[in-house]
Structure formats: C-alpha cells, structure tokens
C-alpha cells in the first residue's frame, strides 16, 4: 500500500531565512503520525506546506515535492483548492467562525464544495461529523446557537467536526491541545485514537509525551532539519540520535 | 516645596488642556443649535415632497426635487463606488505585499485629501462639456470618485481586522479565493464593510463641490432622466441661500436641518454597528 503523503527533499524559506532544510518523510495510511520538536523548529510550517495553506503567506517559498495519490501538489497544473480538500485541518487556537451557528460551522465546507445534494443529506453529514467529534450530545439542542458560546474544548471539537465534514482522508492537526486545559486535551487525544482507523492523522506537537501517547510514527524536527524518524516506540525507547534522546527526555524544548 | 510647585503647574496645564478640548467641541454644538433653531420649524411631510415655493407669493413649498435628486445621486454613487471601493479594499488588504497595492493605497490616501471641487471640474470636462449638458450621471460619477477612497480604505481595515487564524480556517475548507473572501470571510468583516458603505453614503449626501459643475440644480422638476440636470440638497442650500428671496432662505434652512438629520442618523447607525462588534 502506498503512503498517504510523501514529502521529498522539501526546502522552505520565509524571505531569506530557511525554515525547512531538505526534509523527506513518508506518512503511511491510517496511522497517527506525529511531527514533534521545540518551538520554532518549522513543524507548523511543514504541516501547512502539505495542504498548501502556506500559499497564504506571500513571503514563503517552497522547493521540493509533496506527493499524494502520485500527484505532486506543488506541480503548476494542480488546483490548490483540490489539494486543500484532500485534508481536513485543525488549528492550534480553536477557530470556529464565531459569527456562524454551530450547524453552519460544520455545514459550510460541504455545502460550498458541493459534497451534498440536499438539506437532509447535509443535516445527516453535520450530525455524523459532530458525532465523530464527540460533540453531538452536547450541542444537538443548540445547533442554531453561535459557535462562540461553546467552551474552548468544545470549540476545538467543533473545528474537528468541521474538518471531518469535508470527508478528507488526511487530517492535519497543528498543536490541537496547546490552548486547552488538561481535561479538554485528554478528550481530544481520546478522539484522535478513535479516528485513526478511518483517517490518516498528522499531528504537530511540541510535547514529546503527547507524541508518545497518541502516535504510531514520529518525526523529530530541530531547527528545520529532520533529526530522526521512525515508529514511535522505537524512537522513544532507543533513539539513534543524541539530540532526539535529549528532547524526549525533556532536556531541550 | 518644589514638589508642590510641580503639582500646581501640572494642575494648571491639565486645566488649560481640558478647556481647549471643550472649546473644540463648541462649534459642533453651535452649528446644531443654529441649524435646528432656524430650520427645524419648516420640516413637515409636505416640506419633504413638495416643489419649492415661488420666490414671491403664497405657499410654503418644499424640497421634494432636491431630496429625490439626492437619493438618486447617492444611490448611484454608492453602487459605483461600493463595487469599485469594495474590491479595491479587499485587494489592498489581502495583497498588501504587492507593489500595486502599496501604490494604490498611497494614491487613495492622497485622494481622500483631494479638493472635491477639482473632482467636479474633472467630471465637468469629461462628462458635461462633451455632452453640452449638465447631467445627473456626471454628478453621480463625481460623487463616486469622492467616496471611493473612503470605502476602499475602510473595507481594507475591515478585512485586515479578521484574525489570521480565521482566514486559514476559511481557506483550509478547500474553497477558491473568491468563495473564501466573499462567502465566508465577508461575514466576519460585515460590520466594517457596512460602516465603510455608511461613511460613503454620509459623505456623498453632504458633498456640494462635485455637484456645482455637474448637475446644475433644477428647481421645479423632480427627475428628468440620468442625462438631464437634477438637484441635490446641498446644492439647493447653496443656491437658495445665495438668492435674494427671504422665502428661499427659509427653505434653505429647512433643507439644512434635513441634511444634518440624515448625516446624524447615519453617524448614529454606524456607531451602533461598531458597538455591536465590541460585545
């Protein structure tokens, strides 16, 4: 079985500053793949390169290949919107559209992308997405209320539902628990483990313990370079690189 | 001893500044009192719809043609400037790194300060002189040129104020840029965009100079077509106030009170919109 995402010889600059240095990784299908490293190591940038959200930053320049379905998404002929539809994305700061209702936050993506034929299909998809995000029971009577009334943890699960509603195969998560309290964080982590059978999940985290808890594979980035990559158990128990060992023991970061 | 003196000087300076601050607000209250004490008594429903009175003789008369003319001119100007100003503002906000946006923004900031009589003169040269006729369209276009920079710069602020993380969320849904900006993010910027349009309306409704050389100012016809002369409230005030007839002076005062009310109403609405944003 081919990989979900292949990154080949990726280099990224912001202006003159190189933030990703010749990184190559392969993400297998239906696993949780963690990209970990200290703040500023380039992990969020790498994640945003995968769905070309990095294009929004006019100062970013990308060289190299990222391949999904045998298609290099940085090929000139590729439609950027199509690339982004292959991924669902969850961000560090819960960012539901505050002016929209809970329902609309989830419904917006599928409706604008023509994923559903009619209202009943949309209702069904919204319900299904909220159920998968473990949020349905909490909000099923408040679907018309603004998303801003939810707690931080609920907002983040709403954002996960919004991502799932696009029916992506891959979910990108950029430190999804960094702004949540421990209880809300553990709910998100539980949810991750539930989802991994069905989706490929790529999660960025600065917390090695989180990577150890949730991931099957892990890549360790340091100052834009890939230091070590492998199965999580191997990397955490027998790291090959001294820097990785320091990091997983909490001595850098 | 020295500390006391410093405190006294501090108090005196604060007093002076406070008095100056109050003084700067005196003109606006003086204008309000003046206009409403002279003009409010003429405002009736008939005043808003009737033709102006003949200069000599009986009959109250009104500002119907000028009010209709102002509505038409402001609406036209709003449509033209709204479309151009909105997309310009969006471009300035989202492509602010491009040279074009940087130059466009500089020119718009200059245009805000532009003497509006020059814009009127330009419209006269391009849209009145070749047709050999004063016309409503020329006035509307002159007004739209006046308000485009206000709308564009305010729309730019509205889109700039959307948190970056919301923009990322919108684009991560895999929609095209027009859909992201117009169907998702416009909603997040709607208060600012609405305020931009209201500022444009207020500005267009109150402008006189761009109209002096473009619409002539009819007195006794409501609307004869976009290629015909038309009137507007500020222009009526200007023409009637300069006339030698007492009766027309009264109409000018009444019209001034109407205009001021419209502008104040727009101001209040836009403040309410801004307040809603904060909560």
DSSP B219: S
A residues 94-123 lying closer than 8 A (beta carbon) to B: 95-100, 108-109, 112-113
Distance of alpha carbon B210 from alpha carbon B188, whole angstroms: 34
Report yes or no: B255 and B53 within 8 Å, Cβ to Cβ. no
Report yes or no: B263 and B202 within 8 Å, Cβ to Cβ. yes
This prediction's pTM: 0.88
Task: For domain B48-278, say whether CATH 1.10.10.10 is its number.
Answer: no
Structure tokens at A234: 């191997």
Tell me what the mean pLDDT of segment A176-192 comes to: 92
For residue B224, the model assigns a pLDDT of 85
For residue A253, the model assigns a pLDDT of 60
pLDDT value at B112 more than 90: yes
| A250 confidence band (pLDDT: 50, 70, 90) | confident
For residue B60, the model assigns a pLDDT of 74
Average pLDDT, chain B: 92
Question: Which SS3 state, helix, strand or coil, does residue A59 take?
Answer: coil
| B98, B174, B188 member nearest A166 (Cβ) | B174
pLDDT value at B275 more than 80: no
Q: Please name the residue of chain A whose CA is at the shortest distance from the CA of residue B191.
A: A99
CB contact under 8 Å between B169 and A95, yes or no, is: yes
Phi, psi of B223 (to 5 degrees): -155, 125
- pLDDT tens by residue, B77-98: 999 999 999 999 999 999 999 9
Q: Which residues of chain B have a CB within 8 Å of the CB of A163?
A: 172
Edge-to-edge strand order for the sheet containing A87-90?
Answer: A87-90, A170-174, A200-205, A32-36, A217-222, A225-231
Residue B173 near chain A (CB below 8 Å): yes
Residue A51 near chain B (CB below 8 Å): yes
For residue B273, the model assigns a pLDDT of 83
CB contact under 8 Å between A81 and B175, yes or no, is: yes
- pLDDT tens by residue, A150-167: 999 999 999 999 999 999
Q: Please name the residue of chain A whose CA is at the shortest distance from the CA of residue B96.
A: A58
Residue B102 near chain A (CB below 8 Å): no
Classify burial at B42, counting beta carbons within 10 Å of its beta carbon; exposed 0-12, middle 13-18, buried 19 or more: buried
β-strand A170-174 against A87-90: which pairing, if any? parallel
pLDDT value at B252 more than 70: yes
Report yes or no: B91 and B103 within 8 Å, Cβ to Cβ. no
- pLDDT tens by residue, B179-216: 999 999 999 999 999 999 999 999 999 999 999 999 98
For residue B56, the model assigns a pLDDT of 79
Classify burial at A216, counting beta carbons within 10 Å of its beta carbon; exposed 0-12, middle 13-18, buried 19 or more: middle
Rounded alpha-carbon distances, angstroms, from residue B217 to B43, B131, B237, B240, B260: 21, 17, 11, 11, 20
- pLDDT tens by residue, B21-79: 999 999 999 999 999 999 999 999 999 999 988 887 777 788 999 999 999 999 999 99
For residue B217, the model assigns a pLDDT of 82
Which among B242, B216, B213, B248 has a CA at the least distance from the CA of B230?
Answer: B216
For residue B279, the model assigns a pLDDT of 43
Distance of alpha carbon B176 from alpha carbon A113, whole angstroms: 10
For chain A, percent of residues with pLDDT exceeding 70: 99
Structure tokens at A183: 């209880």
Task: Write down the residue that tokens 């239906």 correspond to.
Answer: A30
pLDDT value at A1 more than 70: no
For residue B235, the model assigns a pLDDT of 95
Task: Write down the residue that tokens 């209201």 correspond to.
Answer: B198
CB contact under 8 Å between A95 and B166, yes or no, is: yes
pLDDT value at A99 more than 90: no
For residue B57, the model assigns a pLDDT of 72
Report yes or no: B146 and B119 within 8 Å, Cβ to Cβ. yes
pLDDT value at B119 more than 80: yes
For residue B271, the model assigns a pLDDT of 87
Classify burial at A110, counting beta carbons within 10 Å of its beta carbon; exposed 0-12, middle 13-18, buried 19 or more: buried
User: Which runs of E-coded beta strand occur in chain A?
Assistant: 5-14, 17-27, 32-36, 60-68, 71-72, 87-90, 170-174, 200-205, 217-222, 225-231
| A249 confidence band (pLDDT: 50, 70, 90) | confident
Distance of alpha carbon B143 from alpha carbon B196, whole angstroms: 15
For residue A251, the model assigns a pLDDT of 76
Tell me what the mean pLDDT of segment A237-243 comes to: 91
| B2 confidence band (pLDDT: 50, 70, 90) | low
């Amino acid at each position: 079985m081919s990989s979900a995402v292949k990154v080949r010889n990726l280099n990224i600059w912001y202006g003159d500053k190189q933030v990703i240095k010749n990184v190559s990784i392969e993400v297998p299908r239906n696993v949780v793949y963690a990209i970990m490293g200290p703040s500023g190591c380039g992990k969020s940038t790498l994640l945003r390169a995968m769905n070309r959200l990095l294009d929004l930053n006019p100062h970013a320049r990308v060289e190299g290949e990222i391949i999904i379905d045998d298609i290099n998404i940085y090929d000139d002929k590729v439609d950027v919107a199509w690339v982004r539809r292959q991924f669902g994305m969850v961000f560090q700061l819960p960012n539901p559209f505050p002016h929209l209702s809970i329902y609309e936050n989830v419904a917006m993506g599928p409706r604008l992308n023509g994923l559903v034929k009619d209202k009943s299909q949309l209702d069904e998809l919204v319900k299904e997405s909220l159920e998968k995000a473990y949020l349905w029971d909490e909000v099923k009577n408040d679907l018309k209320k603004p998303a801003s009334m939810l707690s931080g943890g609920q907002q983040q699960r709403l954002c996960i539902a919004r991502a799932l509603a696009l029916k992506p195969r891959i979910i990108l998560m950029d430190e999804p628990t960094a702004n949540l309290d421990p209880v809300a964080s553990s709910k998100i982590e539980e949810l991750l483990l539930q989802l991994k059978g069905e989706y490929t999940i790529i999660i960025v985290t600065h917390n090695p313990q989180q990577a150890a808890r949730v991931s099957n594979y892990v890549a360790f980035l340091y100052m834009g370079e890939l230091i070590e990559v492998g199965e999580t158990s191997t990397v955490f128990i027998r790291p090959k690189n001294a820097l990785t060992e320091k990091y997983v023991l909490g001595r850098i970061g | 001893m020295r500390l006391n003196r410093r405190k006294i000087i501090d108090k005196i300076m604060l007093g002076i500044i406070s008095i100056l601050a109050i003084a700067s607000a005196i003109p606006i209250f003086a204008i309000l009192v003046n206009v409403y004490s002279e003009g409010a008594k003429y405002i009736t429903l008939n005043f808003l719809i009737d033709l102006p009175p003949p200069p000599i003789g009986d009959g109250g008369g009104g500002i119907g043609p000028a009010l209709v003319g102002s509505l038409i001119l402001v609406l036209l100007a709003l449509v033209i400037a709204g479309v151009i100003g909105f997309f310009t503002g969006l471009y300035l906000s989202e492509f602010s790194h491009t040279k074009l946006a940087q130059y466009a923004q500089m020119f718009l900031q200059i245009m805000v300060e532009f003497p509006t009589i020059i814009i009127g003169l330009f419209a006269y040269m391009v849209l009145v002189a070749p047709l050999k006729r004063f016309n409503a369209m020329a006035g509307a276009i002159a007004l739209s040129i006046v308000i485009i920079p206000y709308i564009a710069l305010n729309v730019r602020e509205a889109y700039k104020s959307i948190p970056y993380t919301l923009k990322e969320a919108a684009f991560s849904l895999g929609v095209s840029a027009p859909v992201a900006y117009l169907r998702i993010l416009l909603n997040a910027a709607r208060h600012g965009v609405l305020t931009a349009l209201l500022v444009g309306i207020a500005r267009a409704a109150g402008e006189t100079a761009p109209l002096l050389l473009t619409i002539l100012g009819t007195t006794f016809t409501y609307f004869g077509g976009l290629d015909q002369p038309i009137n507007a409230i500020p222009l009526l005030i200007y023409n009637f106030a300069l006339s030698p007839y007492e009766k027309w002076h009264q109409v000018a005062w009444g019209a001034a009170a109407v205009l001021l009310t419209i502008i104040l109403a727009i101001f209040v609405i836009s403040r309410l919109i801004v307040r809603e944003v904060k909560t």
